[in-house]
Structure 1
Amino acid sequence: MAVSARNARLYRQETTKAPMFQSFSATTTPDQGPPRLAALRAEMAAEELAGFLVPRADAHQGEYVAPRDDRLAWLTGFTGSAGFCIALAGTAGIFIDGRYTLQVRAQVDNGAFTPVPWPKTQPGPWLREALPTGVIGFDPWLHTNAEIARLEASLGDALSLRRTDNLIDRIWPDQPAPPQGAVIVHPDSLAGRSSAEKRRSLAQHLTESGAKSVVLTLPDSLCWLLNIRGADIPRNPVVHAFAVLHDDASCDLFIDPAKLDDDLRAHLGPEIRCHPPHDLAAALGALAGPVQVDPNTAPVAIFDLMAAQDTPVIEADDPCILPKACKTAAEIAGTTEAHLRDGAAVVEFLTWFSGQNPAELTEIDVVMALEAARQATGALRDISFETICGTGPNGAIVHYRVTEGTNRRITPGDLLLIDSGGQYADGTTDITRTLATGTPPEGARAAFTRVLQGMIAISRARWPKGLAGRDLDALARAPLWMAGQDYDHGTGHGVGTYLCVHEGPQRLSRISEVPLESGMILSNEPGYYREGAFGIRLENLVVVTQADPPEGGDPQREMLRFDTLTYVPLETALIDTAMLSQAEIDWIDTYHAETRQRLRDRLTPEARRWLDRATRPL
């Protein structure tokens, strides 16, 4: 056994005996794609279809899918969290955004599947150019009503869409079974509001909008509304179910009864009526209406069921999304504690890492040790996503997941990018740090400092209430832009509290039009990636809060700011202080002083000594 592996395993043995959440096996290989594509084309021909849409979505339209529903990965080999494939008789386009440009090349047979930059290239224009005429099939449970409406409007007269059963399911011989994770109670003390309070509030809005009921399809909306958590999606404590909330605050929940025990049923109470999933169609058909449905999250099949009974439909946003995003005081207190617990675990890991010879470590060793540090808290329920740990050129792959086949040994001087998080009962964490392992590559310190300047700019921002993420996104990019650099992902995503690590509707992004509101939690994570050389990303989680007007400010103008949740030292060896303003230096020194103050009493003596060294004033 290599020294690095022995060290990492010894560290795990010293800190925890729990099994690892993360695995390192490759779930797909590029060679699987061509024969599977051929089988799909045979089914298309049998159905007289010119094409078939393969999304990365399930019937609940959440971002994350269970293994049973990971049809895009099974067909193409691509395991990214966003994208879709349009398979035609002569070509197959796999649509991916800028985060996955490098990943798709490595995971997919590019002779069988053609990567398509999306959203720059939209599916309608691509189809019109690739296919003069024909019918495209799609599974109505796997596409939202708004998505299909947009596509139909862009196809022109020669192309059309047809509902069909799922052709992938026909050819997937060992497709996993549906998830059967148990549902647990999420305490009202952590939620800050009871399910009854939430249901009454939403019911009042239904009455005001003229709706008698609303159909809910998103797993995290259901979990938030009912104060429950599940285990149907890896890394995300959500449950697969559908629900109909009525204007009397009662609710019909369509869920596999095997997921519910007596305690859970008692928690739900008599106002929550539980039904098996196969009763959903009949129940929707029996609704008198008007029924509120979100066209951006509910699948086409839901609208079809309503249309079959001529049930009046009001199209409106899922009513859970915004109140779920605006955290209660209890949720903020809980996630603050979770972040301090997690921050201390990361510092224990960094202390361990500082005592290793990097040349004797691999990416897997690092992931194992970091997860062990979190496990040692005794509070970790799961990791919040597969840890991204890339050294050297692997760090430039934005959503890189190390496997036994890609595992890279650290070369002294490589940058090491580590993006990770934990799921705790009181909060969800997500943190990225980029570490030096020796003399950094040419240009890396300057790029790191620009990324840091962008993170500081977001952290220090004050803005008038009513602005959206698109109005702040440029603050993080400006230092990079001045050097002719940028990054091809958003600056920040919303984050749940013991829910999904990616949560809407709030984002720090050029395309986000949702106004930021108090209580919203977001990531603050600018980056820079040099293909074939290194990747840099820094990430703290922040929460929107009211800002007191500064001296001389307009007291009538309501302002907002961010409070930082994540406290872990920054890699000062990569900071070029000559590039920083005094205000930026002061922010770093203050952040490090607060990190020392908040974490010291949670650390082992060795980690306290390391923290003192790592947070010395610049």
Structure 2
Amino acid sequence: MRSEDPEKGDGTIADHVAQLRQELSRRGLDGFVIPHADEHQGEYVPPSALRLAWITGFTGSAGLAVVLADRAALFIDGRYTLQAAQQVDGHLFEQIHLIDRPPHQWLAASLRAGTRLGYDPWLHTPNAVEQMRQSCVKANAHLVACDGNPLDAVWTDRPASPRMPAVPHPIAFSGRDAAEKRADLARILETDKVDAVVLSAPDSIAWLLNLRGADVPYTPLPLSFAVAHRDATVDLFIDPAKLSADTAVHLGKAVRTAPPVGLGPALDGLSHKHVRLDPATVPAWIADRLGAAGAHIERGADPCILPRACKNPVELAGTRLAHRRDGAVLTRFLAWLSETAGTGKLTEISVAATLDGFRKGGEHYRGPSFPTISACGPNAALPHYQASAASDRRLTEGQLYLVDSGGQYLDGTTDVTRTVAIGRCGGEERRHFTLVLKGHIALARVRFPKGTTGSQLDGLARQYLWAEGLDYDHGTGHGVGSYLGVHEGPQRISKMPSPQALLPGMVISNEPGYYRTGAYGIRIENLQAVRPWTGTAERETLEFETLTLAPIDLALIERDLLSKDEADWLNAYHSRVRKELTPLLDAPTADWLAGATREI
């Protein structure tokens, strides 16, 4: 893959920057903005869209670069500070924390009067473009939408766009026929007096049409665009090479297919129609084309997002089964790790490979749901650490090991984090682990009235850390798809305000943590489903059903710090883990699990 070794192929990073500047000069531009993004604004992008890696050498999954005639900057968040320092030449790119100094602020201060700053309208949303435009106005500069990406013009060995097959996702896993979903969407458009909606998020299209694919890493998506109409028909714009005869039959006559180049003319055909688009996710190119065609643009959220997030009974049953199988895999791995970690022969990379090997070949397994985070000692203090040949540490006695991993199964998507002791760890580590566990339990046990948002619950997971002047810098919970994205909105649990209430059927993570810089990291993550509470209540009340099944390391728990209710929850959870997983395990692993889930 191009991003893995940006020094090979068509020159060094310095060559790439020089080539881009020459192309910009040829086009009469003084600068260009390069995001880590494709035309669909997804979390994972295909090799053909790894432009940020080609121009900077940085291979993280989020970031943005600006290349001007005489300077350049790379904007990354705190997850990637160390990675960017290792991968990016500081003489070529100034490295800036995008929270402390967002790109729009840097642009307003750095652009000169008259500067012509280019951008690719396929790779930025209308909201992002408007922010850049305001920065240019402040600097008396000009923002220019490029007709064709100038970086692509000089990236001579750019990989081809993906053309993996799009395949039907059976109703046995999806739970609802695509025609029913299209009819529901049509009723939403009818109620809102909207003629059509443009869908650019492949996960929304995949959910709506019961399609899956393999165009991007870790998420089973066929890249495509769609226009859904008020009469329940859909125009799907997808590479014809991705569609088999069986898939065409699955889509039916109400779904018209055309190559991606047909999207522009189709948008032109919506002249004077009322068309919804999501300005936070759709490419600016689409909004511009609709505006030029004279369409009445109705800005609003992608109408597939909320129904996709609220899993139906079949999807929930499937994710329970997927978590049961995945829990058995993780238990076999943890049992193996307990026997071999103390040898001093294991490294972060080798252990991650072993876990991947345990998952392979499992029923309905289709691959990892994200790159495994395998981190020991001080590396675990980086919440989104990715082991490399340069950073790979051996697992040694007296350290904490954190593993965050997940699988894509036809019937569900998993994501689980466990922190375990390698040998005996110190009292500080056990105390902090127990504080994290107390927060995890508090969030797992909470009941809350309908209408509550995740931001209102976030403090429950942090309270015991806060009481000792501690905290963590990431969110507490993210939504998870059903054989779709491991990170899915609109639900979340975070300090950041969220307008979205938690609703029955939503799947969300519960993952508080604590990170001591240069020493160790702790995170305990289970997935949970929102469900109605069946007890007596004056108003409609909800609770969480824990989906993840895997032991929590008892060696790291300070029992005296747990209340009776907390210990009872842990014992009941471990009893359930033991009961559900034992039939799936060989005898030695079942014996190990019995000890790992004993009552405390």
Query: By the TM > 0.5 criterion, same fold?
Result: yes
Deviations 1:68-110 (CA, angstroms, capped at 9, x unpaired): 1011122222222222122233433322223333333233223
Alignment of 1:484-499 (within 5 A): 484-499=469-484
What secondary structure does 1:463 align onto? strand
Find the counterpart in structure 2 of residue 314 from structure 1. 298
Deviations 1:481-530 (CA, angstroms, capped at 9, x unpaired): 22222222111111001111111111111223211111111111112222
Query: Are residues 1:535 and 2:521 paired?
Result: yes
2:35 alignment partner, one of 41, 55, 63:
55
Cα contact 1:98–1:489 (8 A) shared by 2: no
Please give the TM-score of this superposition, normalised by the length of structure 1: 0.92
Query: Are residues 1:399 and 2:381 paired?
Result: no
Q: Output the CA distance in 1 between the equivalents of 2:241 and 2:277.
A: 27
Alignment of 1:468-487 (within 5 A): 468-487=453-472
Q: Output the CA distance in 2 between the equivalents of 1:448 and 1:50.
A: 52
- Aligned pair count reads 591
- AA of the residue aligned to 2:582: R
Find the counterpart in structure 2 of residue 267 from structure 1. 250
By how many angstroms is 1:34 displaced?
Answer: 3.7
What secondary structure does 2:340 align onto? coil
Find the counterpart in structure 1 of residue 489 from structure 2. 504
By how many angstroms is 1:377 displaced?
Answer: 2.2
Deviations 1:265-303 (CA, angstroms, capped at 9, x unpaired): 111011111111111111110124111111111111001
By how many angstroms is 1:458 displaced?
Answer: 1.2
Find the counterpart in structure 1 of residue 404 from structure 2. 419
Please give the TM-score of this superposition, normalised by the length of structure 2: 0.95
- AA of the residue aligned to 1:436: A
Deviations 1:381-405 (CA, angstroms, capped at 9, x unpaired): 1111111101122212222222334
By how many angstroms is 1:417 displaced?
Answer: 0.9
Cα contact 2:453–2:502 (8 A) shared by 1: yes
Q: Structure 1 residues 101, 557: CA separation in 2 closer, same or farther (over 3 Å shift)?
A: farther
Query: Are residues 1:144 and 2:125 paired?
Result: yes
What secondary structure does 1:115 align onto? strand
Deviations 1:357-383 (CA, angstroms, capped at 9, x unpaired): 431111122112211211142431111
What secondary structure does 1:528 align onto? strand
By how many angstroms is 1:442 displaced?
Answer: 6.4
Deviations 1:454-488 (CA, angstroms, capped at 9, x unpaired): 21121112222112121111221222222222222
Cα contact 2:168–2:247 (8 A) shared by 1: yes
Alignment of 1:220-259 (within 5 A): 220-259=203-242
What secondary structure does 1:356 align onto? helix
Alignment of 1:320-335 (within 5 A): 320-335=304-319
Find the counterpart in structure 1 of residue 71 from structure 2. 91
What secondary structure does 2:33 align onto? strand
2:585 alignment partner, one of 603, 606, 609:
603
Deviates more, 1:276-285 or 1:433-442: 433-442
What secondary structure does 2:133 align onto? helix
What secondary structure does 2:218 align onto? coil
By how many angstroms is 1:130 displaced?
Answer: 2.2
Q: Structure 1 residues 459, 129: CA separation in 2 closer, same or farther (over 3 Å shift)?
A: same
Q: Structure 1 residues 149, 338: CA separation in 2 closer, same or farther (over 3 Å shift)?
A: same
Q: Output the CA distance in 2 between the equivalents of 1:535 and 1:101.
A: 17
Cα contact 2:4–2:59 (8 A) shared by 1: no
Query: Are residues 1:434 and 2:419 paired?
Result: yes
Find the counterpart in structure 1 of residue 104 from structure 2. 124
Cα contact 1:28–1:107 (8 A) shared by 2: no
- AA of the residue aligned to 1:548: T
Find the counterpart in structure 1 of residue 286 from structure 2. 302
Deviations 1:311-358 (CA, angstroms, capped at 9, x unpaired): 221111111011000000100000000000000011011111122143
Q: Output the CA distance in 1 between the equivalents of 2:7 and 2:326.
A: 34
Q: Structure 1 residues 77, 442: CA separation in 2 closer, same or farther (over 3 Å shift)?
A: farther
Cα contact 1:393–1:535 (8 A) shared by 2: yes
Deviates more, 1:321-330 or 1:505-514: 505-514
Query: Are residues 1:42 and 2:28 paired?
Result: no
Query: Are residues 1:578 and 2:564 paired?
Result: no
By how many angstroms is 1:63 displaced?
Answer: 1.7
Q: Structure 1 residues 35, 574: CA separation in 2 closer, same or farther (over 3 Å shift)?
A: farther
Q: Output the CA distance in 1 between the equivalents of 2:437 and 2:202.
A: 35
Find the counterpart in structure 2 of residue 177 from structure 1. 160
- AA of the residue aligned to 1:475: L
Q: Output the CA distance in 2 between the equivalents of 1:523 and 1:107.
A: 31
- AA of the residue aligned to 1:268: L
Q: Structure 1 residues 241, 445: CA separation in 2 closer, same or farther (over 3 Å shift)?
A: same
Q: Output the CA distance in 1 between the equivalents of 2:365 and 2:75.
A: 35
Find the counterpart in structure 2 of residue 350 from structure 1. 334
What secondary structure does 2:504 align onto? coil
Find the counterpart in structure 1 of residue 95 from structure 2. 115
Cα contact 2:376–2:401 (8 A) shared by 1: yes
Deviates more, 1:40-49 or 1:314-323: 40-49
Q: Output the CA distance in 2 between the equivalents of 1:28 and 1:438.
A: 40
Query: Are residues 1:341 and 2:341 paired?
Result: no
- AA of the residue aligned to 2:62: A
Find the counterpart in structure 2 of residue 565 from structure 1. 547
- AA of the residue aligned to 2:559: T
Find the counterpart in structure 2 of residue 4 from structure 1. none
Q: Structure 1 residues 309, 114: CA separation in 2 closer, same or farther (over 3 Å shift)?
A: same
By how many angstroms is 1:28 displaced?
Answer: 5.0
Higher relative contact order (CA 8 A, sep 6+): 1
Q: Output the CA distance in 1 between the equivalents of 2:88 and 2:490.
A: 31
What secondary structure does 1:360 align onto? coil
Q: Which runs of 5+ in 1 are unaligned?
A: 1-22
Deviations 1:424-457 (CA, angstroms, capped at 9, x unpaired): 1000000011111123256322221222122112
Q: Output the CA distance in 1 between the equivalents of 2:490 and 2:290.
A: 26
What secondary structure does 1:523 align onto? strand
What secondary structure does 1:497 align onto? coil
Query: Are residues 1:518 and 2:504 paired?
Result: yes
Query: Are residues 1:188 and 2:168 paired?
Result: no
Aligned CA-pair RMSD:
2.0
Find the counterpart in structure 2 of residue 384 from structure 1. 369
Cα contact 1:84–1:94 (8 A) shared by 2: yes
Cα contact 1:364–1:407 (8 A) shared by 2: yes
Find the counterpart in structure 2 of residue 16 from structure 1. none
Q: Output the CA distance in 1 between the equivalents of 2:136 and 2:495.
A: 27
Q: Output the CA distance in 2 between the equivalents of 1:589 and 1:498.
A: 30
What secondary structure does 1:443 align onto? helix
1:156 alignment partner, one of 117, 121, 137:
137
Q: Output the CA distance in 1 between the equivalents of 2:364 and 2:580.
A: 19
Deviations 1:553-589 (CA, angstroms, capped at 9, x unpaired): xx33222211100010011111122222222222111
Find the counterpart in structure 2 of residue 3 from structure 1. none
Deviates more, 1:194-203 or 1:527-536: 527-536
By how many angstroms is 1:614 displaced?
Answer: 0.2
1:593 alignment partner, one of 575, 581, 597:
575
